[in-house]
């Protein structure tokens, strides 16, 4: 049952308490300064906020939350505001707490290969720090210049290297989180073996700002993979791509990424970027990358591909610029779609066994309900993760209901990596049982009894 009550607007006393804590320069109340925090990256979700507060320290986060509880003010935690499910913007007049000033990245520990990062540091900055230490961070995604480590933990972000390194949940070895009553959960020792009760760090991961505000994250870094080989393969059948991928997993231990660009997505890239793929295909282009810290993986990748079928259409790159040229087809899809309109995004996972059948059906399911809409599909094939994008005027509930029901009927999950946000909360029952949803709400009530943290997100 929904437990959301209306949030109060911060009164003069609360606004002045905010200013005492962070300084008046970091309490934004004018429309022209708050506007950018109130609309999401796609332009699909927008609202208004009476105040954007910008803490610099964990202590300030804690004090701000105490004031919010005292005044019944609802809060939307925000990082880089690149989330794609309407969870990072104030759709119901909430205060926005932006973590973007908390950007410190500590020195990399040379013995454990771990580093502690403040929540507002960007993914790109963490990549740079790791590279300077001769290491790498295991998660990468196209929003790297803007998305923050705190936001990535809050959404359990995935991206292009999940098949090798896992998602954010697998990189975390410690977390610092502030509960809504201001208490700080600090667990940053980074011990790999620590069987001392509940795993609160991983509970926070994927909680989308509903259980606490993440302020610091300790992550495990991975070896830098300096030798790479990238291949783009043109295919005429999605089922063949799924089979080829299973074969590559078995034969290419250095496999790092496996991404699918369906014909509908390549059309968008052709149109918006003026790029022409190096090999022909009628159904999809599979972009695969192998990488190693010690040896050149090109022979292993070539043998893996040849042993599947020796007449595949393949373009290969073995140096940085060549690889970047191939990745441009994949990395520019999201921005190209947005050039054509405000997209309706459905990020889903399918089991390998039903992915091709789902892909064959989803276009018709959308066309039946919105004949003028354009459906664009691509995704992280290595994880069974498809991104279904719908452009044009659509009835959101009708399309969501139909596509997400189709996902559930094919044994999939209604969210692979973007989370639930406000966009999918009405459909969460398709992937989670009544008992699970009741447990979600019990956890929420225990950790945020005043119900002030992102109350409309996930399972309200």
Residue ranges in contact with ligand MLT by CB under 6 A: 84, 142, 334, 345, 347, 387
How far apart are alpha carbons 154 and 212 in whole angstroms? 9
If one asks whether residue 261 binds ligand FAD (CB under 6 A), the answer comes out as: no
Q: Which residues are CB-neighbours of 316 under 8 A, at least 6 positions away?
A: 229, 230, 231, 298, 301, 302
Q: Are 456 and 92 in contact (CB under 8 A)?
A: yes
Q: Which does 387 bind (CB under 5 to 8 A by kind): ligand MLT, ligand FAD, none?
A: ligand MLT
CB closer to ligand FAD out of 240 and 331 = 331
User: In the window 333-352, what residues touch ligand FAD (CB under 6 A)?
Assistant: 334
Q: Smallest distance, Å, CB 99 to ligand FAD?
A: 4
C-alpha distances out from residue 78 to 15, 47, 126, 213, 308, Å: 19, 14, 18, 9, 46
CB closer to ligand MLT out of 59 and 338 = 338
Q: Smallest distance, Å, CB 418 to ligand FAD?
A: 6
Dihedral in degrees, nearest 10, Cα atoms 277, 278, 283, 284: -80
CB closer to ligand MLT out of 269 and 457 = 269
Count of residues that interact with ligand FAD, criterion CB under 6 A: 36
How far apart are alpha carbons 24 and 386 in whole angstroms? 44
Across the strands, what pairs with 98?
78
Q: Are 10 and 50 in contact (CB under 8 A)?
A: yes
Q: Smallest distance, Å, CB 45 to ligand MLT?
A: 14
Q: Which does 79 bind (CB under 5 to 8 A by kind): ligand FAD, ligand MLT, none?
A: ligand FAD
Q: Are 92 and 50 in contact (CB under 8 A)?
A: no
Q: Considering only 51-59, 106-114, 156-164, 254-262, which stretch makes contact with ligand FAD by CB under 6 A?
A: 156-164
Q: Which does 345 bind (CB under 5 to 8 A by kind): ligand FAD, ligand MLT, none?
A: ligand MLT
Q: Which residues are CB-neighbours of 158 under 8 A, at least 6 positions away?
A: 139, 141, 167, 168, 380, 383, 385, 416, 417
If one asks whether residue 422 binds ligand FAD (CB under 6 A), the answer comes out as: no
If one asks whether residue 141 binds ligand FAD (CB under 6 A), the answer comes out as: yes
If one asks whether residue 214 binds ligand FAD (CB under 6 A), the answer comes out as: yes
Reported as type and span, the H/E element at residue 216 is strand 213-220
Binding residues for ligand FAD, rule: CB under 6 A, are 41, 76-84, 87-88, 99, 119, 141-143, 147-148, 150-152, 154-155, 157-159, 208-209, 213-214, 334, 417-418, 454, 457
């Amino acid at each position: 049952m929904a437990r959301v009550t209306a949030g109060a607007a911060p009164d003069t006393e609360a606004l002045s308490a905010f200013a005492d804590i962070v300084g008046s320069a970091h309490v934004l109340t004018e429309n022209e300064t708050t506007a950018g925090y109130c609309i999401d990256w796609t332009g699909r979700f927008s609202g208004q906020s009476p105040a954007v507060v910008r803490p610099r320290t964990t202590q300030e986060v804690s004090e701000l939350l105490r004031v919010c509880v005292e005044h019944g003010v609802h809060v939307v935690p925000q990082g880089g505001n690149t989330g794609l499910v309407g969870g990072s913007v104030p759709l119901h007049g909430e205060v926005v707490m932006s973590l973007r000033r908390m950007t410190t990245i500590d020195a990399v520990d040379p013995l454990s290969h771990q580093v502690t990062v403040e929540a507002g540091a960007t993914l790109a900055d963490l990549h740079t720090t790791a590279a300077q230490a001769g290491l790498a961070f295991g998660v990468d995604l196209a929003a790297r210049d803007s998305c923050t480590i705190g936001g990535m933990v809050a959404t359990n972000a995935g991206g292009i290297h999940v098949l090798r390194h896992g998602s954010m949940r697998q990189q975390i070895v410690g977390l610092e989180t502030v509960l809504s009553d201001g208490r700080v959960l600090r667990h940053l020792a980074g011990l790999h073996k620590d069987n001392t009760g509940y795993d609160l760090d991983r509970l926070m991961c994927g909680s989308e700002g509903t259980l606490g505000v993440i302020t610091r994250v300790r992550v495990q870094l991975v070896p830098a993979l300096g030798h790479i080989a990238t291949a783009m393969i043109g295919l005429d059948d999605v089922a063949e791509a799924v089979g080829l991928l299973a074969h590559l997993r078995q034969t290419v231990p250095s496999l790092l990424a496996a991404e699918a660009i369906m014909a509908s997505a390549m059309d968008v890239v052709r149109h918006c970027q003026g790029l022409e793929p190096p090999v022909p295909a009628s159904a999809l282009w599979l972009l695969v990358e192998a990488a190693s810290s010690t040896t050149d993986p090109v022979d292993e990748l070539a043998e893996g591909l040849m042993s599947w079928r020796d007449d595949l259409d393949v373009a290969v790159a073995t140096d940085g610029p060549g690889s970047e040229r191939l990745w441009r087809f994949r990395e520019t899809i999201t921005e190209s779609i947005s050039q054509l309109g405000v997209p309706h995004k459905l990020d889903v996972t399918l089991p390998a066994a039903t992915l091709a059948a789902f892909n064959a059906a989803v276009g018709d399911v959308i066309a039946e309900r919105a004949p003028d809409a354009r459906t664009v599909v691509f995704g992280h094939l290595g994880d069974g993760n498809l991104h279904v994008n719908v452009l044009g005027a659509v009835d959101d509930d009708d399309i969501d209901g139909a596509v997400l029901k189709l996902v559930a009927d094919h044994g999939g999950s209604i969210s692979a990596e973007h989370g639930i946000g406000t966009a999918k909360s009405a459909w969460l029952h398709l992937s989670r049982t009544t008992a699970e949803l009741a447990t979600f709400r019990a956890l929420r009530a225990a950790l945020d009894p005043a119900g002030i943290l992102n109350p409309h997100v996930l399972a309200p």
